[in-house]
Each structure stands twice: as C-alpha cells, then as structure tokens.
Amino acid sequence: STAGLSFVLPSSAARCRALPQSEGRDGLQVCRSGGPVVRTHPALLVAPAPPCGYGVFTTERLAKGTKLGEYVGEARGYDVWCEEIKALKRAARGSDDAVPFIPEELYAAWTGSGPKDAGVVVDAFHAGNTMRFINCSCAPNATFSAFGRGSQNHSRLQVVATRDIEPWEQVSVNYGWYFDDATLQDVRKEAVKAFNADLAGIRALSAWAVARRARAASGGAT
C-alpha cells in the first residue's frame, strides 16, 4: 500500500489520516537518512482489543529482534504539543491537570531533544500507520528503537520485538505512562471501566475463537 497500511483495518478504526512517512511540524524536519520507511510486517493486523479499542496482533510467530514497522506520525515540538494538549483539556473540562488523560495525548513517542533541547515527539493521533494502534503495556513484547538521527537532534522510530511473539499475540510497547503514578492509576481505572463496558463483546469474541478452533480441529471450514 502506498500509505504503508499493509494490515487488516476495521473501517470503524480508520479515524486518522494515513501517512506513507512521518511529516514535520512546528519548524521540524524529518530526517530521511536511515533508508526508506520500514514497512509494516506482513504478519500484522489490526483488530478489536478490549478494553483498549483496537490493537495490533501477529498472525505468525515473530522472533526476537524482528523489525515490525516504522512508527509514523507528525514530528512535533514537545513544548508546543504539551500546550495544545493542555488547551484541549481546559476546553473540555476547565482544567489542564495531568489526569484524567485524553485520547489525544496517548499516541506520542519521544524521539530526541530537538534543535532547542525542548524535546520532540512523533504524534500519531491525527495521522499515522499501523504502528499507531500498538497498545501500551508494563510488560511489553516490543520497543521503540531510534534510527536515522538528523541534524535537528531527533530520530525516526521503528518498533522491534524484544522477545519471541507467538501467533495471535497482541504486540505492545511501553509509551512511558507508567513512570507517572497518577497517570498509571488513571489508565488502570479507565481500562477497568472500558473492560466492563466491553465484557459482552469480549465473551462473544472468546466464543467465536473457541468455535473456530473446534472447526479447525475437526477439519471443517474456518
């Protein structure tokens, strides 16, 4: 795909603009050194992942060290991005307190200190590729790996497996939320609330998986 979206994407998940490669904002340029865009691994797909909405899963075993794809989005000045997040929070609830979080702040990954040492993030909320659907975990099976560092002191990011990942296992990374206790507790609270809301769907998905395995074991169609 010219958009780098080599995955199965439920239409209800397509709420962002597909990018073939990262774009610069806030006066930033994305370095093109390091070679072409790291393509999404063909074994990956996007599927419902309650309570986190959607997630990225693998259809085959991925060995430790496998490159899963480049984390594509908008390169943003961290200070500018932070102010925009605070403004969104004030508009929504009259306060820019760190918690509760808002969805707009959950898709940013740190890429370096930037030209003015103010920090740079790749933000995939509004625009991105498969990698934006990877969920956060305190026990992840993949990580962000920096490459292609440019003259503005920030890098491109790729996702790399940190251990063997089994078929149909969800891919996860640590976005860094767990370093802040208030955010960690808020994420846990919202996850429990979402889980309870999605419980019926989870049970239905589990029943479908059991039936699919039974059909496969009996030689029937899947």
Q: What is the pLDDT of residue 48?
A: 81
Q: What is the pLDDT of residue 206?
A: 76
Task: Give Rg (Cα) of the chain.
Answer: 18
Q: What is the pLDDT of residue 192?
A: 72
Tell me how far apart the alpha carbons of residues 180 and 195 are, in angstroms, rounded to a whole number: 22
Q: What is the pLDDT of residue 111?
A: 93
Distance between first and last Cα of the chain: 27
Q: What is the pLDDT of residue 88?
A: 95
Tell me: the pLDDT tens digits for 4-40?
333 445 555 556 788 889 999 999 998 888 889 999 9
DSSP for 139-150 reads S-SEEEEEE---
E strands, 61-210, are 67-70, 74-77, 108-112, 120-123, 127-128, 135-136, 142-147, 156-161, 172-173
Alpha-carbon distance values, 179 to 111, 137, 168, 175, 203 (Å): 17, 12, 28, 9, 32
Spans of the chain below 50 pLDDT: 1-8
Q: What is the pLDDT of residue 13?
A: 55
Q: What is the pLDDT of residue 4?
A: 36
Q: What is the pLDDT of residue 8?
A: 46
Q: What is the pLDDT of residue 195?
A: 66
Tell me how far apart the alpha carbons of residues 39 and 46 are, in angstroms, rounded to a whole number: 15
Peptide bond into 51 cis (omega under 30): yes
